[in-house]
Chains A and B, each alone.
Chain A
């Protein structure tokens, strides 16, 4: 491209609008449609160029330079800082996490955006829906971080994510037993190792067995537990009662079935001989259970599964799930972006093509897969690339959502840079190296953008 002579058709767009005036008669050269003096043009540009030069361009140069110096900034360190990027464990976790982020987050957000864009096309309340999904783009990542801290709260009573998880789990899983239940010293039971309890004496057919336990809060008893009944002897089998040996308000006798004491419905009782389980039964609503004759002479054991703690939900912000969890909050924020851009692209698709395919007998899924998606390819590419370079810089969400214990597992490059450069014991050399790495990662996009604009100019 030539420098500014009198305009000329090879100038940047809009090329066809550019007549190009000749240089002014002597004196100050005037160019462009407005015939502006060059000094005035410089004046218009100066504030922008000064700010950009000082705060954007110069920092790029300085960061590259600084990344080759050591921590104190005085001596040349060669590639040491860069080497540290790939040897230091926390930084390597950051690099690994960034890779996960770049691959997963834009893909999920784009796919969701695509689904939403396609589905809302024909709905009347599509605009309202789009507004709801797009709205999180307006808030700060800090606010989103606080919102999702609330969502991922561990206790199922407080955090909605775990409330749902526990709800789903408990619908399908067996109801767990009686955590915290245990025998008293006077009871005929003792600890059997591994959280189970065994009878102190072997049982005999004809003698009903008493298996009392305490420690279950009345509210946690099964809703259909009935008052415990003393079992009657029956033939060669072993019978017994497993019940909560606790009378509300006191007055009961330990080790005896008092009225109003409830049976431990569902408690599993095993008969163990020589370490092997020969029979097992479940206590009924009134606590009564029956074991076959094979249990004669065995020790009765209440296995540890009876006393398992209830399902407490997923540890969303624990070391293994924290990165997917934070990616979830990012998708919540940015799926709307993908949706809006794709919807705009969709609106530009020629309808006849789609209708023709439908007439040909293609069903919706085929139309979608074979026509819509390929024609949306440019839009999808823009969305994916934008999200990818956005995600490289992710900081706020990780900073806020990851609790102290999981910070290292959730580490990302931008966070690492902050900690390295502005925390205690700052190493600006390594920090600059991270910055340069981030810059290198976006350079392909930079080139691509510049090339695209140049090509548009040449038209």
Chain B
């Protein structure tokens, strides 16, 4: 196409250089301007549309139960005095919710750390070590990337039940770690493989042992990928509900399960659900905004979870 264009241009404007600016008709330019304006309006509306549900939640959480039952959250704009922090106050006194936040941390942090550590060990092994059938093993890991957790729910329940860790925080952590590993290994192995061979050989020649090689050379270089993985896994586990619903202890559910129980029992107590949901969102949103780039690159690299 480029050649045709150049030929055509050469025919029409033989004197024009290759950098000639195309002349568009007035009509075309006006249309482009108007189109641009319409486009902007569309985007502004779309942006507002996207924000609205979250804002609705936030404003609802700041209204008393009587106001919530009587009118929609948009009334706040005409009656700002409605806003109150009472719901949050009561939430902090609600030990079921605060306890579940603590449980969430207790589940999420170890899961993330374990996935990063175990995934790093395995990813490095796949990248730079040689052993029988290494490539087949790696292809198996790639295959496991898309396995849905549903496949494991029944078998692992029975397995955990048999060894006594069903309905324990430990069980949940193990499950999340296992299902986070395919992605972790895939991501880290590809990243570690990019490390220049000379660095490793040089360190080897300097007499570095296995552990030193791993901790002093490989891991520091893996920083960006590890950050992406960590953030991705953190958000994934924090936001999970299904696995916790089945495998978490009845007395220490994470926040997603605790809120789900509220929905199940009452369904319409927005004055509890709204602040609760918002509180559950604060940490993930904070992590997201603070580490956007790592999160986005993690999402893009995975694109399979």
Contact B280 A140 (CB under 8 A): yes
Contact B154 A386 (CB under 8 A): no
Contact B260 A147 (CB under 8 A): no
Known A-B contacts A141-B241, A449-B142; A158 and B68 likewise in contact (beta carbons under 8 Å): yes
Contact B274 A150 (CB under 8 A): yes
Contact A439 B242 (CB under 8 A): no
Known A-B contacts A55-B179, A449-B145; A356 and B5 likewise in contact (beta carbons under 8 Å): yes
Separation of A355 and B6 alpha carbons in the complex (Å):
12
Contact A386 B296 (CB under 8 A): no
Contact B260 A399 (CB under 8 A): yes
Query: Across the interface, which residues of B come within 8 angstroms of A153, CB to CB?
Result: 72
Query: Across the interface, which residues of A come within 8 angstroms of B259, CB to CB?
Result: 142-143, 146
Q: Which residue from A7, A34, A431 sits with its C-beta under 8 Å from B200? A: A34
Instruction: Mark each residue of chain A from 115 to 154: 1 if its CB lies under 8 Å from any CB of chain B, else 0.
Output: 0100110010000010111111111111101111111010
| B164 at interface, CB cutoff 8 A | no
Separation of A72 and B135 alpha carbons in the complex (Å):
40
Separation of A139 and B131 alpha carbons in the complex (Å):
41
Instruction: Mark each residue of chain B from 39 to 59: 1 if its CB lies under 8 Å from any CB of chain A, else 0.
Output: 110110011001111101100
Query: Across the interface, which residues of A come within 8 angstroms of B136, CB to CB?
Result: 1
A212-220, A319-327, A414-422: which one contacts chain B? A414-422
Query: Across the interface, which residues of A come within 8 angstroms of B204, CB to CB?
Result: 33-35
CB nearest to B159 among chain A residues: A54
Contact B50 A132 (CB under 8 A): yes
Contact B130 A332 (CB under 8 A): no
Query: Across the interface, which residues of B come within 8 angstroms of A457, CB to CB?
Result: 135
CB nearest to B2 among chain A residues: A356
| A424 at interface, CB cutoff 8 A | no
Known A-B contacts A160-B73, A393-B149; A48 and B285 likewise in contact (beta carbons under 8 Å): no
Known A-B contacts A340-B300, A457-B135; A360 and B5 likewise in contact (beta carbons under 8 Å): yes
Separation of A346 and B174 alpha carbons in the complex (Å):
39
Contact B129 A36 (CB under 8 A): yes
Contact B131 A42 (CB under 8 A): yes
Query: Across the interface, which residues of B come within 8 angstroms of A40, CB to CB?
Result: 129, 210
A8-16, A247-255, A268-276: which one contacts chain B? A8-16
Q: How many A-B residue pairs have CB under 8 A?
A: 333
Contact A31 B150 (CB under 8 A): no
Separation of A55 and B247 alpha carbons in the complex (Å):
13
| B146 at interface, CB cutoff 8 A | yes
Contact A63 B287 (CB under 8 A): no
Q: Which residue from A34, A48, A414 sits with its C-beta under 8 Å from B118? A: A48
Separation of A150 and B275 alpha carbons in the complex (Å):
13
Known A-B contacts A332-B50, A396-B241; A56 and B134 likewise in contact (beta carbons under 8 Å): no
Separation of A135 and B300 alpha carbons in the complex (Å):
15
Contact A150 B57 (CB under 8 A): yes
Query: Across the interface, which residues of A come within 8 angstroms of B277, CB to CB?
Result: 142-143, 146-147
Contact B300 A344 (CB under 8 A): yes
Contact B256 A142 (CB under 8 A): yes
Query: By DSSP majority rule, is chain A's interface helix, strand, loop, or mixed?
Result: helix
CB nearest to B185 among chain A residues: A48
Separation of A329 and B256 alpha carbons in the complex (Å):
17
Contact B143 A359 (CB under 8 A): no
| A382 at interface, CB cutoff 8 A | yes
Q: Which residue from A7, A116, A137, A422 sits with its C-beta under 8 Å from B246? A: A422
Contact A56 B147 (CB under 8 A): yes
Q: Which residue from B60, B129, B151 sits with its C-beta under 8 Å from A34? A: B129
| A442 at interface, CB cutoff 8 A | yes
CB nearest to A337 among chain B residues: B299
Instruction: Mark each residue of chain A from 58 to 70: 1 if its CB lies under 8 Å from any CB of chain B, else 0.
Output: 1110110010000
Q: Which residue from A36, A44, A138, A353 sits with its C-beta under 8 Å from B1? A: A353
Interface residues of A in 379-398 (CB under 8 A from B): 382-383, 386, 389-390, 392-393, 395-396
Query: Across the interface, which residues of A come within 8 angstroms of B101, CB to CB?
Result: none
Distance in Å from the Cβ of B219 to the closest Cβ of chain A? 12
| A358 at interface, CB cutoff 8 A | yes
Separation of A7 and B197 alpha carbons in the complex (Å):
14
Separation of A131 and B288 alpha carbons in the complex (Å):
10
Distance in Å from the Cβ of A155 to the closest Cβ of chain B? 9
Distance in Å from the Cβ of B296 to the closest Cβ of chain A? 6
CB nearest to B53 among chain A residues: A147
Distance in Å from the Cβ of A361 to the closest Cβ of chain B? 8
Query: Could you show 13 A-B contacts with beta carbons less than 8 Å apart?
Result: A7-B130, A38-B132, A52-B182, A54-B178, A55-B152, A57-B144, A135-B54, A136-B54, A141-B241, A146-B276, A428-B154, A442-B146, A449-B142
What are the 3 closest A-B residue pairs judged by CB atoms, nearest first? A31-B130, A140-B239, A32-B130
A389-B146, A400-B260 are known; give 16 further A-B pairs, CB within 8 A: A4-B131, A34-B200, A34-B210, A40-B210, A45-B125, A48-B185, A131-B292, A137-B288, A139-B239, A139-B280, A147-B57, A149-B263, A150-B56, A337-B299, A396-B242, A442-B146
